[in-house]
Amino acid sequence: MKYVIIGNSAAAVGCIEGIRQEDTKGSITVIASEPYHTYSRPLISYLLYGKTDEQRMKYRPDSFYKEKKCTAMLGRTAEKVNAEAKKVILDNGEEIPYDKLLIAAGSAPFIPPMNGLEKVEKRFTFLSLDDAKALEKAISADSRVLIIGAGLIGLKCAEGICDRVKQITVVDLADRILPSILDEEGSGIVQEHIEKKGIRFFLNDSAAELTDGRVVLKSGTELDFDVLVVAVGVRPNISLAAEAGAETGRGIVTNKKCETTLPDIYAAGDCAQSHDITTGQDRVLALLPNAYMQGECAGINMAGGDKRYDKAIPMNAIGFFGLHIITAGTYDGEVYTVKKGHSYKKLFTKDNRLMGYILIGDIQRAGIYTSLIREKTPLDSIDFDLIREKPQLMAFSRKERSRVLANR
């Protein structure tokens, strides 16, 4: 059996480990544009922060490909998938035949049209190890950095370089920071915390005109900068699958077995859609644990096993300057809010189920809330009044307790 994987990150690693649970003999070839051993993408900001290094940010040990009996073609890009001939064509013209293929190509930075962007010499995105290295070279203790985008990637970038530059200004079209994961109140708390580090925000605003070193915002505010980081979002890499004839939406369409609509071609991770059980919609859940689990599910099925990926929920665990945040699910239904000092908790319940939550500051035992969402636990089957105040296993019946513990 010849397994081929396009990509070399969380979804690809999940797939390799999934395949090897079922098949220890088949050949696995990994094709990866980036020339590096697999690394944990979220750690690129910690690299700049000085909290990790290239060795420690590896997602698996140096021995990984050898142990899993993989051929890693690092620094090679897959240019085309020929689904009829079952071959992947590389950038050097080489053809790699496959019996089962996984597309785990992730996403690429989205750069919206901005007047004058091309005039800015020192401009960067922040998605890869090479991006982080290039940014590191461009900044100095005197740099004034303008970050466009107050989402997860823009703010992680800000955290990473905060102590290494003179000034950071963040601009976003939205009226609050982290708009995709936080409500207004939660955003306010996190923004206040980040501002204490001297980072400035211009929200509800955008870059109307850029020149090298100066931006005029839509509001009329003018700002000087030395380095620009564009972090407004990402686009799933769907073109290989789409050109091969697979059905695509915002991401590559997959079923619960992580199969695409083409025979023997699977997709996983940030390039693929999965079924969000909290909203009932198929959508891209661009999160590392999701990429790994989807990849693992694909790998098991590619190798002849039988696995379903049917517990996908949006979930973010993130922190900025020591303030921890965990969010999960959908913010729909009746709301229960608790605020204590710098801690903030919001739970959303509907139809006898926990639909979602936001925890800022005190994130202990968030796994219990996550499990209630993932398992769709009926709230009248547990002591939810107790759990709402303080997540604890004692509020579950003995039987429920072992199930929750098993799924955490």
Ligand X SMILES: Cc1cc2nc3c(=O)[nH]c(=O)nc-3n(C[C@H](O)[C@H](O)[C@H](O)COP(=O)(O)OP(=O)(O)OC[C@H]3O[C@@H](n4cnc5c(N)ncnc54)[C@H](O)[C@@H]3O)c2cc1C
Residues that bind ligand X (CB under 6 A): 6-12, 31-34, 41-42, 44-45, 77-78, 104-107, 126-127, 152-153, 156, 237, 240, 269-270, 286-289, 291, 316, 318
Q: Least distance in Å: CB of 266 to ligand X?
A: 13
Residue with Cβ nearer ligand X (314 or 391): 314
Three-point CA angle 65, 66, 67, nearest 5°: 95
CA pair distance 304, 298, nearest whole angstrom: 10
Cβ pair 34, 128 in contact under 8 A: yes
Q: Is 103 or 215 the residue whose CB approaches ligand X more closely?
A: 103
Please state the closest distance from residue 103 (CB atom) to ligand X, in A.
8
In angstroms, what is the minimal distance from the CB of 63 to ligand X?
Answer: 20
- The residues facing 395 across adjacent strands are none
Q: Which is nearer to ligand X, 360 or 395 (CB)?
A: 360
Quote the strand ranges of 8-153, DSSP E: 27-32, 70-74, 78-82, 87-90, 95-97, 100-103, 107-109, 123-124, 144-148
* Contact yes or no for 160/48 (Cβ under 8 A): yes
Q: How far is the CB of 249 from ligand X (least distance, A)?
A: 16
Comparison of 38 and 301: residue with beta carbon closer to ligand X:
38
Report DSSP state, residue 128.
S
Min dist. Cβ of residue 190 to ligand X (A): 14
C-beta of residue 45 within 8 angstroms of C-beta of residue 89: no
**Min separation Cβ 191 and ligand X, Å:** 18
Q: What is the 3-state secondary structure (H, E, C) of 239-270?
A: HHHHHHCCCECCCECCCCCCECCCCCEEECHH
Give the position of tokens 């990429």.
Answer: 291
Buried b (16+ CB within 10 A) or exposed e, 333-354: beeeeeeeeebbbbbbbeeebb
Nearer to ligand X by Cβ, of 7 and 356: the residue is: 7
Nearer to ligand X by C-beta: 218 or 283? Answer: 283
**Shortest separation between residue 38's beta carbon and ligand X, angstroms:** 8
Give Cβ neighbours of residue 92 (< 8 Å, ≥ 6 apart). Answer: 76
Q: Which is nearer to ligand X, 103 or 347 (CB)?
A: 103
